[in-house]
Structure 1
Amino acid sequence: MGTSNDHDAPPSTLLQDLNVTVQKSSMVFPSKEIERKSLFLSNIDKVLTFDVETVHFFGAHKDFPPHVVAEKLKSALEDALVVYDFLGGRLKVNNDTKRLEMDCNPEGAGFVVASSGYRLDQIGDLDYPNPAFAQLVHKNKDFLKQGDVPLCVAQVTSFKCGGFAMGISTSHTTFDGLSFKTFLDNLAALAANKPLPVTPCHDRHLLAARSPPRVTFPHPEMLPISSHLPHSPESTNIFDASTEPLHFNVFKLTSSHITKLKQEATCGTTRVTGFNAITAHIWRCKALSADDNPNRSSTILYAVDIRSRLNPPLPKSYTGNAVLTAYATATCQELEEGPFMKVVEMVREGAARVTDEYARSIIDWGQVNEGFPNGDVLVSSWWRLGFEEVEYPWGKPRYCCPVVYHRKDIVLLFPPVGGGDGVSIIVALPPKEMEKFHGLFYKFLR
């Protein structure tokens, strides 16, 4: 991004209504009989009961018009519900343990075929966080009976040009980002009648709490529900939707911007990662855009994959949520006046803190407490997950993005349209805070 005016306002071509018409809604059932059983959910899984919605855009393909894609995708999903036997099931509370579980049953996933009245090139910049993209993911889950909530719903929406969007909504209890990428790879292979590239590991007892639980570290990054006071800004669930009006924007860092941030943060031989530099940059901008109190403490949260950090390590094919929130805390004065390398170092130290014992301690904390992550900004990185690299029979996606949600404290990192080493940063803030964030974002890049 060369100037500070590139994304001051939504693109003039932004459509607020994609003119989507649902042609057919149905259920998809496992292609083979599956064993009826209950699947244990870890303490990480069981707090992530909200849906994750992604949209994958594809250009026209002469051999795969949208109706053929819909048929192949539906068939592939039927086979996927055998491999991922919990995905066609439902969440339920175990009457004996009072824990949330997945009831692996053949009730099925949702499948929707829809069409838009526009061409793909008419709906605007694909990487702009357009709330209208929510029309490409099906919201109404009452497919067969009132109150039924499938864990997975897929929607294929065709555009007038022959291109299409594949919208997928899954309960976050089913996958984290890495395991969802594996799911997409497997789904693409099933659609092409190829062997599965990865056999998923569904044993979520690998992240069960110890008995008895041993909380061996303080966990200020978690807030027990018992201390959640209504209307207290210090105790807001970061996953809650905001009630105030928000502006959505995308900020783009080129590879040269990222290199500059890394150089500014480099001291001696310590290696600075692009993620740590970007996260520190976002932290400064978000904290200082909130208010002018230099003594206010700000805590940033960011996801850390624990698969390789545990002893023994989790299988890379582990299906559930194997991500914890690392944290760093500083005053706004430290963030504004201190050296940038210090801010980056705090982010690095936060991630380094998540060892095997620390991860086990926080999982055990979740056994003793009901609670949620506690901070004033969460950076969720989809930057290197590789959704856009999935090879479907009809080719790779032109772009993949989340459906933006009304949460002002979650910042998303995503790869730019067309690939490359840059990053797109999706931000939602109240108008005045967005204005300050925008100014700080480019001020700190100079």
Structure 2
Amino acid sequence: MKLRRESSRIVKPNYEGDIPPSNTARIPLSVFDKVTYNTHIAVIYAYRPPIPPNATIEQGLGKALAEYREWAGRLEADDKGDPLILLNDHGVNFVEASADCTLDQTMPFKPSPALLSLHPSLKEAKALLQVQLTRFTCGSLVVGFTAHHLVADGHSTSNFLVAWGQACRGIEMSPRPLHNRAIFAPRDPPLIEFEHRGVEYMSRNLNKVYPLFQTSADDDDIVVHKAHFTLEFLVKLKAKASSGSGRNRPYSTFESLVAHLWRAITRARGLNGFETTKVRISVNGRSRLSPRVPNEYFGNLVLWAFPSAKVKDLLREPLSFAAKIIHEAVAEVNDSYFKSFIDYASSRVKEEGLIPSADMDKSVLCPNLEVDSWLRFPFYDLDFGGGSPYIFMPSYFPTEGMMFLLPSFIGDGSIDAFIPLFQDNVASFKQFCYSLDI
């Protein structure tokens, strides 16, 4: 597949005849924005014809940016060095490209460096959002989309994408975003009930010291394996994870699958039985905070659960053992925990010189894992006017141990998992991946 870049320009908000708002407004980042990953995240969409022309998609983007102005702004810092979003309407990068083949000739898209050509570069991008439209000779379209994580989490970003499609189709954007990032005020006096140092935040010095584990590797050493789990397999896995648990309700499909993958990857890695392994799991705070934060809230509102276990216990005990650890760790990230974090982040982080533990610069997470679940986000609802995407997937992120889970495009309840592994561990992982008997 050879791509040719046809054009590149900036798309700015289109206020459709209304008086443009001030372009000097500044929005301070919330404590949840500041603690997340300071990087762009890229995703890939593929559409079969008929598809509206690029001009229609571009016009819809301008309309959506008028509602979601943060994406058209720029990240800056105030006099104290605190990060903020300047709503200057400088716009987003918009690239048009063409491929010299049909989409079918490139399918299925494999997680490989070739995906990086389907979206603008993530490196040193000043624009907070970037789009690349690549047309294939058969009339199919691939949309490469990158968005800066400090601006919004996956929930908010997927809401924006749905609104972009609605704008392209000429229908009202719904739901309208809630833009108030100042709603997370600390309590007076603060009530810090949980440990946050060493969890969401860490010392700058500790960031440079990893005496026990490898933290970097060449990309050639890491392979992103795509695993497909059928609905039938997931039903059996859920039943096995819940068997003998003594719970009135079974563990969720997510809990069961993550428990299974945690055990399969740990076994494939061949870790020492006395090592501790943990999983970083995103927890959406919108439904956990009291009062509840509306789903329309635009920004980041995520903390993490960190279930952990000794390798020997994880592999010796049944699947329900891992599912129980995961369930309990996620349940503990509740209203009290979120409010404790707000108080801590508002009062201690600067004075103690801490930095976020969320770090995308590592290329190896072993002996740990990270799970980014997109199972409940409406990414498949991005419809420009020709229907839902044929494919949705993350771009190429070769960070060993950083998994992405998303609904399969088949639409039958199956799940695709994108799992970066050391090349030497792939064969072993494949043996364990689809086995219910490990």
The TM-score normalised by the length of structure 1 is 0.87
What amino acid maps onto 1:396 in structure 2? S
Q: Distance in 1 between matches of 2:375 and 2:204?
A: 35
Q: Which residue of 2 aligns with 1:59?
A: 48
Q: Which residue of 2 aligns with 1:30?
A: 13
From 84, 99, 124, give the equivalent of 2:107. Answer: 124
Q: Which residue of 2 aligns with 1:251?
A: 227
Alignment of 1:253-402 (within 5 A): 253-266=229-242, 267-268=245-246, 269-367=248-346, 368=349, 369-373=354-358, 376-402=368-394
Q: Secondary structure at the match of 1:224?
A: strand
Are the structure 2 counterparts of residues 394 and 370 from structure 1 closer, same or farther at C-alpha, using a change threshold of 3 Å? same
Aligned structure 1 segments of 4 or more residues deviating by more than 4 angstroms: 208-213, 233-237, 240-244
Q: Distance in 1 between matches of 2:40 and 2:291?
A: 30
Are 2:155 and 2:377, in contact at CA under 8 Å, matched by a contact in 1? yes
Shift of 1:292: 3.2
Shift of 1:130: 3.2
Q: Secondary structure at the match of 1:161?
A: coil
Q: Distance in 1 between matches of 2:193 and 2:269?
A: 33
From 63, 67, 71, give the equivalent of 1:79. Answer: 63
Q: Secondary structure at the match of 2:208?
A: coil
Aligned-CA RMSD value: 2.3
Are 1:34 and 1:82, in contact at CA under 8 Å, matched by a contact in 2? no
Shift of 1:362: 2.6
Q: Once the two structures are aligned, what percentage of the paired residues are identical?
A: 25
Are 2:224 and 2:398, in contact at CA under 8 Å, matched by a contact in 1? no
Q: Distance in 1 between matches of 2:154 and 2:214?
A: 24
Q: Distance in 2 between matches of 1:294 and 1:28?
A: 54
Alignment of 1:158-237 (within 5 A): 158-210=135-187, 213-219=190-196, 220-230=198-208, 232=210
Are the structure 2 counterparts of residues 223 and 322 from structure 1 closer, same or farther at C-alpha, using a change threshold of 3 Å? closer
Q: Write the deviation string for residues 412-435 of structure 1: whole angstroms up to 9, x where unpaired.
A: 112223211111111111111223
Are 2:133 and 2:142, in contact at CA under 8 Å, matched by a contact in 1? yes
Are 2:164 and 2:382, in contact at CA under 8 Å, matched by a contact in 1? no
From 30, 41, 48, give the equivalent of 1:42. Answer: 30
Are 1:215 and 1:361, in contact at CA under 8 Å, matched by a contact in 2? yes
What amino acid maps onto 2:172 in structure 1? P
What amino acid maps onto 2:144 in structure 1? G
Q: Distance in 2 between matches of 1:409 and 1:221?
A: 18
Q: Distance in 1 between matches of 2:217 and 2:133?
A: 27
Q: Which residue of 2 aligns with 1:437?
A: 429
What amino acid maps onto 1:277 in structure 2? S
Q: How many residues align?
A: 415
Q: Which residue of 2 aligns with 1:6?
A: none
Q: Distance in 2 between matches of 1:215 and 1:414?
A: 35
Q: Secondary structure at the match of 1:370?
A: strand
From 57, 78, 98, give the equivalent of 1:94. Answer: 78
What amino acid maps onto 1:370 in structure 2? I
The TM-score normalised by the length of structure 2 is 0.89
Are the structure 2 counterparts of residues 88 and 373 from structure 1 closer, same or farther at C-alpha, using a change threshold of 3 Å? closer
Q: Distance in 1 between matches of 2:325 and 2:27?
A: 38
Are 1:91 and 1:101, in contact at CA under 8 Å, matched by a contact in 2? yes
Q: Distance in 1 between matches of 2:213 and 2:158?
A: 32
Q: Distance in 2 between matches of 1:212 and 1:234?
A: 40
Q: Which residue of 2 aligns with 1:423?
A: 415
Are the structure 2 counterparts of residues 140 and 429 from structure 1 closer, same or farther at C-alpha, using a change threshold of 3 Å? closer
What amino acid maps onto 1:391 in structure 2? D
Are 1:34 and 1:85, in contact at CA under 8 Å, matched by a contact in 2? no
Q: Write the deviation string for residues 186-228 of structure 1: whole angstroms up to 9, x where unpaired.
A: 1111111111111101111223544565431124533503342
Q: Write the deviation string for residues 292-319 of structure 1: whole angstroms up to 9, x where unpaired.
A: 3101011111111110110111111011
More divergent stretch after superposition (294-303 vs 412-421): 412-421
Are the structure 2 counterparts of residues 133 and 343 from structure 1 closer, same or farther at C-alpha, using a change threshold of 3 Å? same
Are 1:188 and 1:390, in contact at CA under 8 Å, matched by a contact in 2? yes
Q: Secondary structure at the match of 2:70?
A: coil
Are 2:133 and 2:143, in contact at CA under 8 Å, matched by a contact in 1? yes
Q: Distance in 2 between matches of 1:315 and 1:241?
A: 41
Shift of 1:281: 0.8
What amino acid maps onto 1:442 in structure 2? Y
Q: Which residue of 2 aligns with 1:3?
A: none
More divergent stretch after superposition (264-273 vs 194-203): 264-273
Q: Which residue of 2 aligns with 1:152?
A: 129
Q: Secondary structure at the match of 1:44?
A: helix
Q: Distance in 2 between matches of 1:233 and 1:289?
A: 22
Q: Secondary structure at the match of 1:205?
A: helix
What amino acid maps onto 2:105 in structure 1? Q
Shift of 1:234: 6.2
Shift of 1:22: 0.6
Shift of 1:148: 6.4
Q: Write the deviation string for residues 293-346 of structure 1: whole angstroms up to 9, x where unpaired.
A: 101011111111110110111111011111211111100011110121111011
Q: Secondary structure at the match of 2:340?
A: helix
Q: Secondary structure at the match of 1:87?
A: helix
Q: Distance in 1 between matches of 2:190 and 2:387?
A: 47
Are 2:78 and 2:84, in contact at CA under 8 Å, matched by a contact in 1? yes
Are 2:45 and 2:393, in contact at CA under 8 Å, matched by a contact in 1? yes
Q: Distance in 1 between matches of 2:122 and 2:356?
A: 28
Are the structure 2 counterparts of residues 241 and 262 from structure 1 closer, same or farther at C-alpha, using a change threshold of 3 Å? same
Q: Which residue of 1 aligns with 2:362?
A: none
Point out where structure 2 has 5 or more consecutive residues left out of the alignment: 360-364
Are the structure 2 counterparts of residues 148 and 281 from structure 1 closer, same or farther at C-alpha, using a change threshold of 3 Å? closer
Q: Secondary structure at the match of 2:278?
A: strand
Point out where structure 1 has 5 or more consecutive residues left out of the alignment: 1-17, 142-146
Shift of 1:138: 1.1
Are 2:159 and 2:378, in contact at CA under 8 Å, matched by a contact in 1? no
